[in-house]
Each structure stands twice: as C-alpha cells, then as structure tokens.
Amino acid sequence: MADLSEIRKQIDEVDKKIVQLFENRMSLCEDVAEYKIKTGKQVLDTGREKEKLDNIKLLVQKEENRHDVRELFKQIMAMSRKLQYKLMAKHGLISDVSFRSVDTIIRPDVKVVYQGVEGAYAHEASLQYFGDEADCYHVESWRDAMEEVKSGRADYAVLPIENSTAGAVTQVHDLLLEYDNYIVAETEVLVEHALLGLADAKISDITTVYSHPQALMQCEKYLREHREWQQISCENTAVSAKKVCDEGDKTHVAIASVKAAKIHGLKVLKERINQEDANTTRFLIVGRERIYTKEADKISICVEMAHESGTLYNVLSHFSYNGINMTKIESRPIENRQWEYRFIIDIEGKISDGAVNNALRGISEEVSKLVILGNY
C-alpha cells in the first residue's frame, strides 16, 4: 500500500497541472469573448455546450466517473460564461435597465393610496413614510391600489409584502408581476393587535371575531384558547373594526390596532394578543416610474427558467460570482403550467453597480424571463 504522504504529493502535482490547464482554458475563453463582442454573438450557445458535454463524456474511461466529469465541465463552462459577461461589461455592453436616480420620492403634493380604511396598518405605514401631512386616501383592495397608481390618480401605493410572523403576502407578489409598476421604497411597521368590541362588550360575550387572514394567523396562539369563536376574514384589520361598530352586536369583535379602536369608538378588550412581541409588517412603496433613490440598497427581481435540473443553481451562481448577497427568495406558481414556478429574489445593491449589471446581464441570457421589480 502506498504511503499517504506520497499519494498527497501526487495529488498536489495533478492539481498544479489542472490549475495550469484551467488558466490556459480561461485565456482562450477571453479570446472567444473578444470575438463575440466584435461579431455581436450571444455568450450562451446551448447547442455548442450540449455537443461539447456529449463529446467530453466519451473521453471518460471509467463509467463511474462520467457523471462527475460532465458536472465538472458544466461548472467550467458556467465560469467561462461569467468571465465573458464581465468582459462585455468592461466594453460597455451592459443591459439597459432604464432606471434613473432621484434624490427623494417625498414631496409636498404627493398623493398616496392604501388598501383598507383609516386606522389600517397600511394607513399608518403611509403616514410613517410620507409624513402626517401627506395626502392619503384608501381603496377596497390591493388591486384597486395598483390601478390607482397605473392610472396616475395616485403617485404611490403602500402595500404589505411580508410579516415577521405570518410570512409573505403572496397576492401582492402576484400583483407586482401583473402590473407595470415598480418598488421605489419600503417601510416597516410594528404590529400590535388588540381585541376590540363595543362599549358594553365582555370577552365572555364573544361568539365571532373579524380580521384580516394574516392578523388571524398572527394571533393564532391566543385564538386557540377560544376555539368556540367563529373566525371570519375581512379585507383589512381596520375594516373589521368598522364592521363591528356598524353591526352594533356585542358578541362580535375585531382584531385590529388600538388606533382603529379610537377611530371607530370601540373598547379595547385585550391588548397585544399577537404571539410575537416584535411582530412587524414590511410595506412596499410602489410607483409607476422606474426610479431609485440614492439610498437604495436592495433590488427585487423575478425570474422564470426551464424546469430542469440545475437551472436555479445556475441563476444563483451569478450572485456568488459577482460578490452579491442574496437576502431572500420566494417561489410563485406559473399560471397554466402545473407544478412550475417563478422565483422572486431580493439582492443587495444598486442598479447602477457594475457587479449588479454583470449578474443581471448573465441571468437575462440564461433564463426565459427576467423582470426587475424595483431598486429601493
């Protein structure tokens, strides 16, 4: 049996040769990039790559190594493409994303729309971001809010996108993909749910509780103690408070904010019934222009790709290669394509950064669809 240290020396020698050959290959890839830049050819040639992988597999002598060698060369080819994208960026051949920089989106005459009624958490988020003097008005649904922005009746819509307890608001994700509106900012609101009833109501009277589905989930632990209560979903927490006020039935209560109780003349039967003390909802500020502020440091994109092994890995590898941190990924089903999904991804950076442009350029050429949802 060979000595372990001797085997390791032989491996070191093989590794030296691999590094030398790899550097030679990448140098040739630079020549390929220069040719493609001059001729306008695309970096990714799927036919050439498939042919190359098939031929390489035939060179492998041991059957058990064939899959591993194929995977190795798939990675080498991916690194080659990323090098070519980087060289294209140096030549100024970067994607035109058509976003422009602005100092701020806050101005005296700004018109802001939110879903719900006065006292909703979205209303609070609107005032928190734009100030107490902002011209805010409400509509019935998130879709209505997107329509107001699309039509120009509102400059911005304030929409919930994620709660720290209940997770993503998937309907808003879908609306961002449906409408040609863009995320321009975000703000977070600490959500403290209270149980609200009429002035003469007592907890022992309760038969029915109204609230938004997300609020019901956020208070699930408290509601488990009262399984006899019927839970009914409403469009908004503040809408549920208004409903209790309008119905005048002391057996009906709402889960909403203390502020909503004051607005609608309700009594707070119990405060802070959400199970997490730091229960927070993140709201997006959405406008119809492709703009970003100088403070912007996050980008949201949506990608669709072939439903094949390794395609998502290839997309994410562009972020690692360019030193970009991915902070979040969500999947959403693609309409009329059963069990196929699109991915909504958040990354750190600014749309004008060279590394970001390089990554987005590479991704755009390797997926069937890339949409930039906003830089904020």
* Residue 105, domain CATH: 3.40.190.10
Does 93 have pLDDT greater than 80? no
Instruction: Give dist(CA 128, CA 105) in Å, integer.
Output: 14
Does 33 have pLDDT greater than 80? yes
Residue 283 catalytic? Answer: yes
170 and 223 inside one domain: no
CB atoms inside a 10 Å sphere around CB 322: 22
Decide which of 233, 260, 293 is a domain's last residue: 293
For the CA atoms of 208, 209, 210, 214, the dihedral, rounded to the nearest 10 degrees, stands at: -140
Does 97 have pLDDT greater than 80? no
For residue range 343-357, what is the model confidence (pLDDT) as tens digits? 999 999 999 888 898
pLDDT interval class at 264 (50, 70, 90): very high
Q: What is the pLDDT of residue 115?
A: 95
At residue 227's C-alpha, the angle toward residues 223 and 229, to 5°, is 85
pLDDT interval class at 98 (50, 70, 90): confident
207 and 266 inside one domain: yes
Domain-located, residue 275:
no
Instruction: Give dist(CA 43, CA 366) in Å, integer.
Output: 9
182 and 248 inside one domain: no
Choosing from 99, 130, 281, 319, the catalytic residue is 281
Domain-located, residue 50:
yes
37 and 171 inside one domain: no
Domain-located, residue 38:
yes
Helix (H, G, I), strand (E, B) or coil at 372: strand
259 and 240 inside one domain: yes
187 and 284 inside one domain: yes
* Cβ atoms of 182 and 288 closer than 8 Å: yes
What pTM does this model have? 0.80
139 and 248 inside one domain: no
201 and 178 inside one domain: no
Report the run of H or E that residue 82 belongs to, with start and end: helix 66-90
Q: What is the pLDDT of residue 95?
A: 60
Lateral strand order in the sheet of 267-270: 230-233, 208-211, 252-256, 194-197, 267-270
Of 74, 72, 77, 80, residue with least CA distance to 27: 80
Choosing from 99, 130, 283, 319, the catalytic residue is 283
Q: What is the pLDDT of residue 52?
A: 93
For residue range 244-260, what is the model confidence (pLDDT) as tens digits? 999 999 999 999 999 99
Residue 203 DSSP code: G
Domain-located, residue 174:
yes
pLDDT interval class at 2 (50, 70, 90): confident
Residue 281 catalytic? Answer: yes
Residue 334 DSSP code: P
Owning domain of residue 366:
296-376
For residue range 300-337, what is the model confidence (pLDDT) as tens digits? 999 999 888 889 998 999 999 899 999 999 999 998 88
123 and 171 inside one domain: yes
What is the tally of structural domains in the chain? 4
Average the pLDDT over 290-300 and give the result.
96
Instruction: Give dist(CA 324, CA 327) in Å, integer.
Output: 10
42 and 159 inside one domain: no
Q: What is the mean pLDDT of the chain?
A: 93
Domain-located, residue 78:
yes
Domain-located, residue 39:
yes
Of 94-98, 190-194, 275-279, give the lowest mean pLDDT range: 94-98
4 and 79 inside one domain: yes
Q: What is the pLDDT of residue 373?
A: 97
For residue range 66-87, what is the model confidence (pLDDT) as tens digits? 999 999 999 999 899 889 888 8
Decide which of 262, 293, 324 is a domain's last residue: 293
For residue range 130-163, what is the model confidence (pLDDT) as tens digits? 999 999 999 999 999 999 999 999 999 999 999 9
CATH number at residue 334: 3.30.70.260
CATH number at residue 48: 1.20.59.10
Q: What is the pLDDT of residue 338?
A: 87
3 and 84 inside one domain: yes
Decide which of 236, 270, 304 is a domain's last residue: 270
Q: What is the pLDDT of residue 94?
A: 59
Does 358 have pLDDT greater than 90? no
Average the pLDDT over 266-277 and give the result.
94
